[in-house]
Structure 1
Amino acid sequence: MNASLPPLHPRLRTLLEHCGIRDAQAAIPAPTWRQLVEATSRQFDVYDEERRSLDQSLETLYREVARLGANLEHNTAVRLTAERNLLRTVVHSIADGVFVLDRDGCERLSNSAAETMLGWPVGELRGKPLLERILAAGTHAPDYARLLEAGQPWRDDDAHFLRRDGSQSAVSYTLNPIAGEQGPTGAVLVFRDVSRQREIARRLSHRASHDPLTGLVNRAEFEERLARLIEGPLPATARDAEHVLLYLDLDRFKTVNDICGHAAGDALLRQVARLLGQQLRTSDTLARLGGDEFAVLLENCPAEQGTRIADKLLAAIRSFRFDWLGKHFEIGVSIGVVPLRGEWPEIGAAIAAADRACYRAKNSGRDRWCLLDPQTVDERDLAQERPNWAQRLREALSLGQLGLYAQTVRALDGTEPDSFELFLRLLDPHDGEVPPGAFLAAAERLDLATTLDRWVIDTALAHIAGLPDDGSRFSVNLSAASLRSGNMAAFIAERLHHYAVSGTRLCIEITATDALCHWDRASDLFNALRELGCRCALDDVGNGLPALGQLEAMALDYLKIDGDLVRGMLVSRTDAAMVEAVTRIGHALGLRLVAETVETEAALEHIRRLGVDYAQGWAISTLQRWA
């Protein structure tokens, strides 16, 4: 080899050897060799430099990727922790109970509300089948596996969950499957304790079918039970059954009311209700029809046994003494007995027959029973009996045996003059003042309710026309029949014009129950009355409460809180809560609130604290003859 020639670049030598040329220098002339070596060496030097630069860049890139990966892992962990903490905070902030279940229905997670409501310590149910541990007997259990497979939610608003101590909670709950990439991964169970709501609903339902003063079945429920027994067509097995209807009217009750007041009368009615109930069979139905009138339905009872039960009731009342603030009273009872066999055309006929039998007992000296069998009684005898309600009411209208009584409605802030609610009374020459509860149901059945309403409005406006306009308003109640008639607004407009009375002096009241049943007609009536300048009130709010949207859409000025709720609010948490709720709803809608049946100073102070605007009742004034 020529030592003066430049050496081969290591990469070139390797390349030549790879091509099978091991002694390239000997085979290539020196000048060519030199050119080859110099050219390739420069290229390989550039290549080597670029390779070193690339290696350095790659090393820098690897280090940066490693750093970014570490940061990403750290940031992801931080974010996951933050999301997990947020989720935990949200879940534990929910007032409803929450359980998260796995595919097998075992608990994975629960919130503090679930643990508190059911009394299970944290983690005690973890990993255990949940539904079989918390569903009470009688609560339908969903097919959990099928629910997950279908991916459909489950809801039960009438369930009961078991608490750890074995007691039960009324709940409404939902189960919603959790979707995953490979199918459902479990479900979320959300539940709410509805014990209080169900108790309120139960009480309201009970109130709708029971007399709030005595706790007995009311007239509407009694008539419904009576109708199931006697109104046709009856099944063959029921046609030969015998029942007995008793109609009871207390004697000398008005004396107690007049001497000692309504509080004493109420106490007397409650005691009499308990006493009568103690004499009856468990299968019998005892009802208060209104005022001092009661009725008993004796099912599967022959007439002879019915008269023995009537004797038993008479004996119990004879031995009863009523004491009130040092005064002692003896009362009596007259009882009408009517056997019920087979079908009747209507329940009104049966009740009217029992009423006539009761009147016979009164005319025969009171404190006795009288049996009237419509299938055997002589119609000529019935003609001599007490007139039926149709005749009595028509005679009252024609002979002027109706009167209006007024009760003060007082603004509690003292900024307005007193207003008055007007009440109708039948002035019976034999029985004295008969309250509307005794005859309004009959008036409805006989299509006389609208006639009575028109008499009240006409009489009221005639009397108002003679009074100075000092800002007082006079409230009149309309019946459901007048609401259905569709022409009451026109009648009121004509009477206002006839007597030259401003509509601002008149307030028309409709019960919440009637308004709910005839909402469109009630809305139309109130809108028409507002055009006349009249004020409009929804009465007895609490027994029936329209939806907020309905209340807001109706042209109302006042909500009158049901008197039974006001009477019970100091002793019943449910009644107190209802009074407060109605007050808040009314004020939220910009309406004025009136509390009825405010009988004590304690009740007056309580509604004043709640922010009720007006009060009426014995704590304000008694009923006074007005027209």
Structure 2
Amino acid sequence: MKSPKGSPPPEKDFHLSLLRAYIDSANDGIFVVCDEMKFHVANHLLAEWLGETEKSLTAHKQRLPITRFFGNAESKKLFKDKFQAVLDGKPARFECRLKPKCGEPRWVEISMNKVDIEAGDLVIGVVRDITERREILAEAHHHARHDDLTGLFNRREFERRLNELFESARIRNLRHTLLYVDLDQFKIVNDTCGHMAGDELLRQIAARTHKQVRKKDTFARLGGDEFGVLLENCQMEQALEIAEKLRQSIAGFRFKCNDRLFDISASIGACEITQATESPATILSNADTACYVAKDKGRNRVQLFYGGRDYMLNRG
């Protein structure tokens, strides 16, 4: 029976209308799902994010599961685990990635709680878009680990990874190699054409040479014209082959500045990381020493660190 014209609606209808107006005006996505994770309610904003309508999400006997809208198996598993915890009476808040077929991908924070009603258990969730925040954090994380000039890893990240390889060699008896790369003609370019030209040379060298190492390896700018390469799980024979490819790549490059061409080359010192290695600082020192010997022998060459008296005899 309808209310007489001009009279207020029944209290129940009024409260439902007010609740609906609230969830549809919210700046966050809001959903209600059953214990099978299928939609019973989705506000306009969430339906828009998912590239659907509320009707398509909540149609009787055709309700869609919320899990179909997650970006990958990891996000789907995370949601299922948190959902089960909510059903067990533990409220949840977590971050995951939405990637609907007909909507924009986005990072979201989801908060969920269980509601007990006569018809069964329902879970109410609030979905907050945190894409911008995640992008800012990702950019900050990238800058903390990478060199601004070349885009390679920076010295801090290089040393962190060097420590990890040192520990894996010490504990698990793995073998790695460090290559210490020093450009031979960098000072000439800097003195002749200025620091901006020197910076451009470093950018071009980085873009040219990082392709010579394997994807799992670490290529970093250590400072100035010095670079470091960590070759993980790499026997010395293969490491020297990679070092030679790096040397050839740099030696085959001619840098042009103000109508002048500069022949560029590099001296490379190689040092093995084994269970017998004393410390990360020793590794860096030994590779640097080998690089110095390569320069002393005429530059544009790869020099393996031998250590001890044998190494000193090899210097000549």
State the TM bucket, normalised to the shorter chain: 0.7 to 0.9
**Matches of 1:220 and 1:300, distance apart in 2:** 21
Q: CA deviation at 1:179?
A: 4.5
Give the 3-state SS of the residue equivalent to 1:125 in structure 2.
Answer: helix
Structure 2 residue identity aligned to 1:169:
R
- Say which SS state the counterpart of residue 120 (structure 1) adopts: coil
1:173 maps to: 110
Separation (CA, whole Å) in 2 of partners of 1:310 and 1:294: 12
Q: How many Å separate the matches in 2 of 1:216 and 1:146?
A: 42
Task: Tell me how far apart the structure 1 counterparts of residues 248 and 186 of structure 2 sit (CA, whole Å).
Answer: 17
- Structure 1 stretches of at least 4 aligned residues deviating more than 6 Å after TM superposition: none
Shift of 1:146: 7.4
Structure number, greater radius of gyration? 1
What SS does the aligned partner of 2:188 have? Answer: helix
Unpaired segments ≥5 residues, structure 1: 1-69, 386-627
Structure 1 residue 154 corresponds to structure 2 residue 92: yes
Aligned residues: 306
Give the corresponding residue for 1:371.
Answer: 304
Change (3 A) 1:266 1:153: same
Answer yes or no: is the 8 Å Cα contact 2:44–2:53 preserved in 1: no
| 1:178–1:187 CA contact under 8 A, matched in 2 | yes
Residue 289 of structure 1: how far off its partner (Å): 0.5
1:207 matches 2:139: no
Paired position in structure 2 for 1:535: none
Cα distance in 2, alignment partners of residues 146 and 335 from structure 1: 55
Larger relative contact order (Cα-Cα within 8 Å, sequence gap ≥ 6):
2
Q: C-alpha distance in 1, partners of 2:82/2:223?
A: 51
1:255-278 Cα distance to aligned partner (Å, 9 max, x none)? 323343333222211211122222
Q: Is the 8 A contact 2:85 2:91 kept in 1?
A: no
Letter paired with 1:286: F
1:193–1:360 Cα change, 3 Å: same
> Residue type matched to 2:247 in 1?
L
Amino acid at match of 1:111: N
191, 195, 203: which one aligns with 1:262: 195
Cα distance change, pair 76–305 in 1 and its aligned pair in 2 (3 A)? closer
Q: State the shift of 1:75 in Å.
A: 4.0
Aligned alpha-carbon RMSD (Å): 3.3
Distance in structure 1 (CA, Å) of the matches to 2:270 and 2:187: 23
Q: Quick check: 2:145–2:156 contact (8 Å CA) kept in 1? A: yes
One-letter code aligned to 2:69: I
Deviation at 1:97, TM superposition (A): 0.6
Tell me the CA shift for residue 108 of structure 1: 3.3
Match for residue 198 of structure 1 among 125, 131, 134 = 134
Q: Distance in 2 between matches of 1:265 and 1:179?
A: 68
Match of 1:318 in 2: 251
Task: Name stretches of at least 5 consecutive residues in structure 2 with no aligned partner.
Answer: none
Letter aligned with residue 162 of structure 2: L
Structure 2 match to 1:230: 166
- Asked whether the equivalents of residues 120 and 164 of structure 1 are also in contact (C-alpha less than 8 Å), the reply is no
Distance 1:283 1:187, change over 3 A: closer
Cα gap change, 1:84 to 1:245, in 2 (>3 Å): same
Identity of aligned residues (%): 36
User: In structure 2, what is the equivalent of residue 276 of structure 1?
Assistant: 209
Equivalent residues in 2 for 1:211-610, closer than 5 Å: 211-231=147-167, 234-235=170-171, 237-238=172-173, 241-375=174-308, 377=310
* 1:318 to 1:378, Cα distance in 2 relative to 1, 3 A: closer
Q: Normalising to structure 1: TM-score of the pair?
A: 0.44
Q: How many angstroms apart in 2 are the aligned matches of 1:143 and 1:308?
A: 49
Q: Once the 2 structures are TM-superposed, how far is the Cα of residue 308 of structure 1 from its aligned partner?
A: 3.4
Q: Name the TM-score, length of structure 2 as normaliser.
A: 0.81
Query: Counterpart of 2:208 in structure 1: which amino acid?
Result: L
Distance, in Å, in 1 between the alignment partners of 2:256 and 2:108 is 46
Which secondary structure does the structure 2 equivalent of 1:214 belong to? coil
Cα deviation, residue 334, structure 1? 1.6
Distance 2:177 2:85 in 1: 55
Change (3 A) 1:203 1:82: same
C-alpha distance in 1 between matches for 2:216 and 2:39: 48
Q: Quick one: which amino acid aligns to residue 292 of structure 1? A: D
